[in-house]
A and B are shown apart, each in its own frame.
Chain A
């Protein structure tokens, strides 16, 4: 066992833009890797969390699988962080919250322009959609929030540096953006 800080990341109803922004840390990732080890994450392809120090969640909660993943993260991560606009307020996927789910599905799979062989997907392997897209703090307790669409690499760097070096994380004005 190493003494490195274990970090897990995932994207729920997100676009992986926050993960891409995280990768914008570029050469600072090498510095980060000296003190941090990645657990479950698209970066490692590990499928389930073990005990972690920090969990970074991108995206809101739009289906049953998102709920399971989010709860797994909450159970295994000491500190859980909402990353980006979608995790914080539902973001772009939440635009469907103003349209009944049945109408959304009908438009996408039955009545939409160019739809061939119209049918609502019902394979048992597909996670069921929730009635609405929810911000993650409405499903589990969240410890910190990093706003932005996406939060810049500097936001990740400032937040993780603060946390790793034992400071209370804080973002200066220049790093707080909702867009």
Chain B
């Protein structure tokens, strides 16, 4: 008999070594997330996947599934918490969707839609952040970086390079690139690299592709992120 946990009262099986996120995804249960990606080591930083496990708050993407766990996921309290977290992400950076070419394909925006976030609630930081357009094919708009580290992990784990890193702490935290000049053009990043395509927001963009798909026909314009996520993000078990 396989081992099981319950999520919102539903009993689901899990395999030894799976996280709660992996077990949930395999069972067709969506847990909102931004820094989690099934192909990379979990980072546990965005906290959107916060769930309650036997009454204690945990990140589903890092917490191992264990026999007897009673997990709460889709509750009003957790939805409210997740909306607040998303609002904090919006006011910390400069997420002005009408002027962003990622709009409609952006996972930050899609999570906000999913959580029915209608306002940003908190005072805006309007932090001054730079743009690095030095690379011939890829640009970085630091205004939209949420420090999920997916580009860092993709570069290391998939591309076999080490192009990106996060530097600084707290409000001074920022994305850096591996070059003496600090410019993307002086790194070994290539346009075909996974790290150039994995950004959930519009922080890392491929040049000259922005409006190939018009606004209104994009991924999340008519489809919610829970559906898209479950259809496209299959957990990869240890081969």
Interface residues of A (CB under 8 A from B): 82, 85, 88-92, 94-95, 97-98, 132, 134-135, 137-138, 142, 144-147, 149, 170-171, 173-174, 176-179
- Residue on B nearest A137 in the bound complex, by CB: B119
Q: Which residues of B come within 8 Å of A, CB atoms?
A: 90, 94-100, 103-104, 109, 112-114, 116, 118-121, 123-124, 126, 128, 215, 221-222, 224
A residues less than 8 Å from B99 (CB atoms): 92, 95
Q: How far is the CA of A91 from the CA of B114 in the complex (A)?
A: 21
Question: What are 19 A-B contacts defined by CB distance under 8 Å?
Answer: A89-B96, A89-B124, A90-B126, A92-B96, A94-B96, A94-B124, A94-B126, A95-B99, A97-B126, A137-B119, A142-B119, A147-B118, A149-B97, A171-B118, A174-B222, A176-B113, A177-B113, A179-B100, A179-B104
Chain B at the A interface: SS class: loop
Find out whether the CB atom of B126 lies under 8 angstroms from the CB atom of A135: no
Interface centre among B113, B118, B224 (most CB of A within 10 A): B118
Are A178 and B224 touching (Cβ within 8 A)?
no
Minimum CB–CB distance for A106 against chain B, Å: 18
Is B124 touching A178 in the complex (CB atoms < 8 A)? no
Q: How far is the CB of A93 from chain B (nearest CB, A)?
A: 10
Taking a contact as CB atoms under 8 Å apart, the answer to whether A178 and B112 are in contact is yes
User: In the complex, which of the residues B94, B97, B128 contacts A178, with contact meaning CB atoms closer than 8 Å?
Assistant: B97
Nearest CB on B from A103, distance (A): 12
Asked if B96 and A135 make an inter-chain contact with CB atoms under 8 angstroms apart, the answer reads no
A179 touches B224 (CB 8 A): no
Q: Is the CB of A149 within 8 A of B98?
A: yes
Complex contacts, B112 vs chain A, CB 8 Å: 178
B109 with A178: CB separation less than 8 A: yes
Most chain B CB atoms below 10 A, which of A170, A173, A179: A179
| Distance of A90 Cα from B124 Cα, bound (Å) | 9
A88 near B123 (CB under 8 angstroms)?
A: no
Residues A89 and B90 in contact, CB atoms below 8 Å apart: yes
Asked if B119 contacts A82 (CB within 8 A), the reply is yes
Q: Please state if B103 and A178 are interface contacts (CB–CB under 8 Å).
A: yes
Rounded to whole angstroms, the CA-CA distance of A95 and B94 in the bound complex is 9
Say whether A98 contacts B124, CB under 8 Å: no
Q: Which residues of A are found within 8 Å of B96, using beta-carbon distances?
A: 85, 89-92, 94-95
CB-CB under 8 A from A94, the residues of chain B are: 96, 124, 126
